[in-house]
Structure 1
Amino acid sequence: MKKSSHWRKVLIPSFIFTLITNLIYVSPSNAVPNEWIIVGSGWGHGVGYSQYGALGQALDGRSWQDILNHYYPGSVLADAPVDKQITVGLSQDKLAVFVRLDKSTDDAQLEMSIDGNPVGIISPGVIIRIESNGSSVVTSGGDDGRSESRGSGKKISFRISSGSGVINTNSGNPDSNPSSLLNSPGHRYKYGTLNVVYGGDNDGRADLYTSLTMRLVDQYLLGIGEMSSAWPKAALVSQVVASRSYGLGKINEGLKGNCGCHVSNNSTDQVYVGASKESSNWNDAVSSANTNSGQPAILTFNGKVITAYFASSTGGRTMSTKDAWGGNVLWSQS
């Protein structure tokens, strides 16, 4: 009995040891390999400048000039023409457009014109309604913007003529609630002239096109929403120069027929959000994106501005324009 009992005491621990050893044993087929192959991708077309790549380089201490030289090899900084105006498409194919001046100062006023003729000054808070009926029919006042007739025409324009404020505009259908649309976030603009153009009928329904025209080198850039304003200054300034160059390149291509604009306000071109983008960091980046002469900077190649393509990320390696879209652009190589 004692022998038998002693044998059982030894056997049980031995069995447990054998079981644990078998559980942690790794067969050669499951051994850790000597190398890994990771397959992935970036976000966007991958051509030109990588925004997250710019962030990484800025965190590593590289200057905004270094970042641009990395992504646009052979490009040269040059002074931008300061008088260029860019037109940004805000909405197309709409049946109704609503406009309101939101004031920042008590003397803010909104000037309205129809087909180039001034028709009056609009006070802050007054809702302007523009609908289509063979042309653009304009009314104003009341919660629905229908209290008073303001005339009709093919092109209705608005600009802040005095004081400080933002042009608030949104679009929808004739039965939309304009107050709800205008009180929603976004769609507020501090600079330039807002144009609502009658574009003809589409399947028996009239179309309205809304755009904003402003100075390229600073007013447009202040509303570009392509990069977090919390990122390092070197990344922000490099984005400003790329966006300014892209905008000028699109101006040189002329107005697009489908919107009467040089660029859209979305990622088809570059995201433009207007007044909501402005902050001390971003505004400082716009004012700092200059050449050594102190003028707003653009990127050029062989003396001509480049349409500086950029994307969110590239998966570690950019694509050339030849691989992405065809054609061989020397400043945009993989």
Structure 2
Amino acid sequence: MNTTSSRPLLLTMGDACGIGPEIAVAAWAADRGADLRLVGDAGVFRRALGFMGLDLPVAVLDQCDDVAPPDCLPVWQPSGLPTDLLDQPLGQVSAQAGAAAARCIIAAVHEQQSGRSRALVTAPIHKEALHAGGIDHPGHTELLQALCGDAQGRLPPVRMMLANDELRVVLVTIHVALRQAVDLITTGRVLQTLRITDEALRRAGVAAPRIGVAGLNPHAGEGGLFGDEEIHHIAPAIEQARSLGIDARGPIAPDTVFMRARHAPPAHPGEFDAVVAMTHDQGLIPVKYLGVEQGVNVTLGLPLVRTSPDHGTAFDIAGSGRADPASMAAAIRMARTMSA
């Protein structure tokens, strides 16, 4: 088996009708790391090179860990991709594009599980296209979780972390309605999130992680005046986490915890290494406000490393050559750090 240093990072194509192929080829062209391989349709990647003004040959690899000639875009094209992807209109939902995106993810996960790659970086997919393509999962996170289930069908507990150079946020609940999310905020789920967060930060090189925990309600409930989830669920989870040696603090008013955690030296060193937020929008709005161009989506709790850019398929600019590969480049850097 290849060593960790020689096993490649796999960059999946994403939705062929969006900007995923464009940011993938642009990030590769700027990086040109010997450890990078693109996973997807060679024709789609050739088209993306043209959109981005890049004059590079494409080397189609037989195996994902094969080595391409110098200055050739290294593409591993898994079997089972639709043959008519170039016929699908850019910027529109396509069942073929959704099926192809899923096929690339499934193939890349299999390569990582088989030890032929060391990390997975995924370009954006479109949830509606994924569903139209026959995939009964709402997004990347849930599909990856299903692919990593054990022989008994048990799924690993996973959490979404969104991170940039100034702030890391981990979510207790993700893609559910807000009314449902409140019911999912239990002591067990918050504690599990804290354990997953602490473990992930330690793997990323943070020796003694400091985790700030956001409350759910205004002013973190104000002692039960504005809701009692903090009293009955969040505070007990923090107490149990601290008994396990996890430096978790809170619950802290959600309108201040992100400011306290923001790491912007020298004037403002962050008080926390990560914030655990209760709901999707509560946690992602502050990170995205700091700039999606450097944001990275990381799936924690999987038995593999997966990162992704912090933006969607951007159908409105697909094919225009205006896609910014900065977030993809940041996702590549984080995947390298987490899989070193």
TM-score (ref. length: structure 1): 0.25
Instruction: Give the structure with higher Rg (CA).
Output: 1
Which structure dedicates a bigger proportion of its chain to strand? Answer: 1
Specify which structure has the higher proportion of helix: 2
Higher RCO (C-alpha under 8 Å, 6+ residues apart): 1
